[in-house]
A = this chain, B = another copy of it.
Amino acid sequence: MRTEQPTPLADVRETAAATAVAHPNIALIKYWGKSDEKLFLPRTDSLSMTLSVFPTATRVRLAPDAEQDTVVFNGLPATGEAERRIVAFLDLVRERAGRPVRAVVDTENTVPTGAGLASSASGFAALAVAASAAYGLGLDARGLSRLARRGSGSASRSIFGGFAVWHAGTPDAGPEEADARSYAEPVDAAGLDPALVVAVVNAGPKEVSSRTAMRRTMDTSPLYEPWAESSKADLADMRAALKRADLEAVGEIAERNALGMHATMLAARPAVRYMSPASLTVIDSVLQLRRDGVPAYVTMDAGPNVKVLCRRVDTDRVASVVREAAAGGSVHVAVPGPGARLLDEGV
């Protein structure tokens, strides 16, 4: 593996502030379960599509005189767990850079509240890119993916645009080796022209956090390990389907992988169920679309919202049907989006 050298101090001054933008992603082969909670090493490989919508923009400015970090989120000081995770992430960057200097992090997250899309993937991808530049880590895309992973596992994938696979790597190796081998990289899907329709539905009772749900599923569900094993075959099938730009196969594999993941949770003790009555109503509407000849496939994450993969040309029809099914909810449409990037600072 390549080693990462801090950029010389002269360069650092020039990049003492950096702004990055990154987009959310939706996994078609799911990330569910960690083999190492501290290093954010996943139990299985996963594969996602980065979305064209809802970017997060994050500016990191070094603050040599400050005694602690300042974190601003959508214009307000971040507190609690949100602040703690960002400061811990900066600590990691500082350790790598060998520079203890504090920073001001200012994040604008455009994911609408309740859009059913976690902002942690775009958030930590943008933070990784901006902080790496500000602290002069000089990371390449793979290094940025590894770094982003330490903030939130799925952020490793948002470094890349289009489709990306995140490798579980070698979790049984020593920590350094394991850390080095778990990163995302792009997957070619030329010729595929998909859209993702996100149906935002009302949640039922308060949900279990995805972190808790993953842990409980791994610890108590007799169905977890077999799903993790079956997910390997799903990934191989998915790569082949993407390569031949076969949207129907991509959708079928994504749907079975997601339903399998939710099945492992249903068998956890106590059960974890993110599917609400409204989720099933949307899923039923998608099954009906398929019976009507429209290739459309569902995936779900740690919440009641349903994401529907379809051909871009079918977007309007799918969005219309899904909007009706998600009565009282809302619908967002995305296509494949770009990877994380630094904005020009104009210096």
Contact = CB atoms under 8 A, between A and B. Distances in A.
A44 interface: no
Interface string A221-235: 011011101100000
Contacts of A259: 266-267, 271
A278 B284 CA distance: 12
Given A204-B284, A223-B264, A263-B267, 6 more contacts: A230-B267, A259-B266, A262-B266, A275-B280, A277-B278, A277-B280
A216 interface: no
A99 interface: no
Residue of A262, A266, A280, A281 ringed by the most chain B CB atoms within 10 A: A266
A277 B267 contact: no
How many monomers of this chain does the complex have? 2
Interface in A4-40: none
Nearest to A291: B205
Contacts of A284: 204-205, 276-277
Residue of A223, A259, A260 ringed by the most chain B CB atoms within 10 A: A223
A276 B267 contact: no
A256 B280 contact: no
Contact of A226 (B223, B262, B280): B223
Contacts of A266: 259-260, 262-263, 266
Contacts of A230: 222-223, 267
Given A222-B226, A226-B225, A271 B256 contact: yes
Interface string A273-315: 1011110110010011000000000000000000000000000
A317 interface: no
| A-B pairs with lowest CB-CB distance, top 10 | A222-B230, A263-B263, A277-B277, A263-B266, A260-B267, A277-B280, A223-B223, A263-B267, A277-B281, A226-B226
A158 B280 CA distance: 34
A151 B142 CA distance: 62
B280 A223 contact: no
A269 interface: yes
Contacts of A262: 266
Given A225-B226, A276-B280, A267 B256 contact: yes
Nearest to A280: B277
Interface in A176-212: 204-205
Nearest to A287: B205
Contacts of A204: 280, 284
Contacts of A287: 205
